[in-house]
Structure 1
């Protein structure tokens, strides 16, 4: 069987740039699996997405996670030429491959990955590798390391890992300079980062409240409109009753001109029509 999606751009599907590091690709893949997993989509009925999008995510990752396939794609700029590797006689069944992946990947497993990954040797290796890759940019680690979010405890944990490992590593001057710069202004940078996160959270909350108020306002407008129409109908009914009981000279009859039984009958009729 040939390549299932010869026309897609795996970088676009995984929402990463062409120069993305392996850890960035891995992180984005896990995030997209969690978001577009078929079980998850059933809980997000407002999210419209093609049925095979999850499969495209898996296929894109199978290309970019393999150094040889990724290099070949970067050179050719297309997946259509990969058909030579996966022809009908090659014995590779993409349908069976994706079916097996769907069986293995579940929302629970993705969530559990965080517990297994954090504080593991794999995470420590990723932290050091990316710290070197991004030339000592400490804060960048919180953007590229899977499951890592910026909080004071997490900042302290990651800082400690690098502080210990950096003593045994042979690093160039640029990396050491960046590390020294962060160390000196650490308190200020941490405070600034936390303020930024708090501000973004506040803005998100304000936006959420604004949307809720708009929706509530629409409901109130609808309620007022219905009430207004009901009142207008009741006023029309009164006008019709007044016209019905005008005397021959065109003067409206006053309530005193109607006996008690007649008045009660008219009132009950109006209330009945109002309802």
Structure 2
């Protein structure tokens, strides 16, 4: 990464699915090892960003130990690291780890940009919803800062994607979400996790981005649950003063993490 004083450098880490057991596996992969490999790649090839976004499913089992592990492993970042929940996360356990810290804050301002972090998780459900409070918060934050470019971040994908089995477990109330965004033309992009694959397209004149997991990947354009053999990865974003978004995905190559590609779910 080439540093620039005018550009906000953002790193997205998503869907680590960590387990309390240090040897815990998901579809054959030790998710602690895959996260370590991704973070080693960041250290070697990317360097220090201005802000890190952990976009949900930090834990697979909701254990305190899994959140402590994530907090410990991301402590090398010299910048804010923001967490928000996915469908596998247990919010009380997350709050025990980050409650009262900067990681739990709901927005971030820098370089003429506002980053907004929404909670789309629904207890005991895989799909997502934005409670009325979340929609009001989104509208409030955007109304307060009409002159800042905005990136809105949440775990669940708010549009249909090619992997049709995932569309029913995306953001259920996406119409209400987009109704809020329509009132605020400064929104330049939407960033999510959940789909364990790369997405980069335009939606309503905004950049719609999703990113690979730090562990298991899902196969694009599949009708049923299907695992992809692509390796773990992360996304970097350069947010420019004119509102443009430069972004790319990096992956950990040439490592065998023991993935069970024949699995039919987890």
Q: Using CA pairs below 8 Å that are at least 6 residues apart, which structure has the higher relative contact order? A: 2
TM-score (norm 2): 0.27
The structure richer in helix per residue is: 1
The structure richer in strand per residue is: 2
TM-score (norm 1): 0.27
Q: Which has the greater radius of gyration?
A: 1
